[in-house]
Chain A
Amino acid sequence: MNWHSCAEFFAMGGYGFYVWSSFGMAVVLLSIEPILIKGRYANIRNQLKREAQADQFERDGL
């Protein structure tokens, strides 16, 4: 085990700012990317659903 306390862990032997800026940016970007794609996926699904419903109304009437 490398660390004796939480404070020591976050300090990273004095390199805390650099280490956590690197890992932090990785976590932020790798979290945002799938969220953005999920939004885009929901949009296209809704659009397709509306179009399918419109087709149905056209065929069967309201």
Chain B
Amino acid sequence: MSPLDWMVLIGTLTVIICYGVWKSRGQRNMESYFLDNQSMPWYIILLSIIGTQASAITFISAPGQAYTDGMRFVQYYFGLPLAMVVLCITFVPIFHKLKVYTAYEFLEQRFDLKTRTLASSLFLIQRGLSTGISICAPSIILSSLLGWNLYWTNMIMGGLLIIYTVAGGTRAVAYTQTFQLAIIFGGMFLAGWMVVHLLPADIGFKQALQVSGKMDKLNVIVTKFDWKDKYNIWSGVIGGFFLALSYFGTDQSQVGRYLTAKSIKESRMGLLMNGLVKVPMQFLILLIGALVFVFYLYFRAPIFFNEAQLARVHKTEQGPAMLKLEDQYNELGTLKQQQVKQLAAALETDNHTQIASAKKALQQTDDQSQVVRTQALSLIKASDPTADTNDTNYIFLHFVVNSLPKGLVGLLIAIIFLAAWGSIAAALNSLASTTVIDVYKRLYNEHASEDHYLKISKLWTLIWGVFCIVVAQFAGSLGSLIEVVNVLGSWFYGVILGIFMVAFYLKRVGGTATFWAAIIGEIVVLVIYWTGTVSFLWLNAIGCLLVVLLGWIFQYFVNTRRLSDSGLR
């Protein structure tokens, strides 16, 4: 990175920290620390919800996903809009009226203490581990691309935000997220514009889309049903609905955002607007990836985007074979450069035969490139069996670091930090609120002063921050981290959602039946995952339905036993 990039990066991060600390003033008790005295307008709620969900990986991985697999990933969000309406009708008014700090407090009022403790514990395990991985995922990529030390990158990625998150609680988190998102969207728009700008002079936005489309990268809708296919319209609408319902309704990192609204109406507006803007937003982020694909047709792509990993292979006995494959790949890249120009020229003529012929030639060369690339991936695995051969997350940042002008590189790197900070800060805040409200205050110290609870809340925010950084330092060896985070979530989300569904819709089912249904449901979800029967997105729906069904059955036996006991008496 150039000195200008460093100035932009350090300047942006410093401004955000100062802004967060400035917004931290006036925290006097737990209500102001965790709920900001319920004073937020809907647009801050909306931006805070988006900022919490959109982590660094969203902005790194989504363009890479479009580059490799096309834009069909957007279907993952199709269930979200409907889930927002259900949430607004069912979850939000109850949370507001009961004046809870966390979603799990409601479970004790509806069921019993053990069900509340079980749900909050599942959340703490899942969110604590996945936040650590969320710190590590962008750190690994940045350290690999820029040659930074991973240990220190993790420290900065997960450490600096602790300053304002500990000091200012929810208020600092929400207002910094708003500021961060403004910078993030501005930077991403600039990046998208630059991709097209860097293409040859005769290739505009429309031509770039045409080329991308001809190479099947604009395949947004997939209607074919397949249990094991992660991204089609059916898994998106049904699996995505349950995932969104669970994430926004029962994950304290999101519930904690909309509980800060000044009224039920403001909470609902924030969530409903999120339902309307999320899909188009994700579509635009993916579109950048589809355009980056076109960029790398005109300007040769490396055989493997994680070049640090490639350099390590060069030093092993597989090095000469890898260099040979790289030569083959580069030759095919040169051929693709010529063929993409022919395709663009054919598209200008509107001659269908010529277009079909040029498209076929380019696709054949691209297929040959993929064969060579697959051989290269085998070599990487042979040289290091623990190496991650998925370079999807490196594609966009490789483009940023190697192709964007000075200054913009620093801004885009800053965006990765800001996106990470937004979601990590919300996670730390929610981990602290759940620990203090559902565990410390409820189980150990119910009658302390407000000042004591405020100090304990700040202390737990700090403890969770340190814990997540420690997890991040060990997470580097887990392979594809984006997948680990998603899988980790799907292990628990469905079951937690099932508990809440029973609470809302099965009024006759009690705490004991729900508690055991959740325990058995969790075991079954884990068994299904290990057997690899279905794609992970379906685990959310399966976990939820299992808890509802088992809860209903168990309650029947509880009732029968009660009747027989009373009969005996």
User: Is A bound to B?
Assistant: no
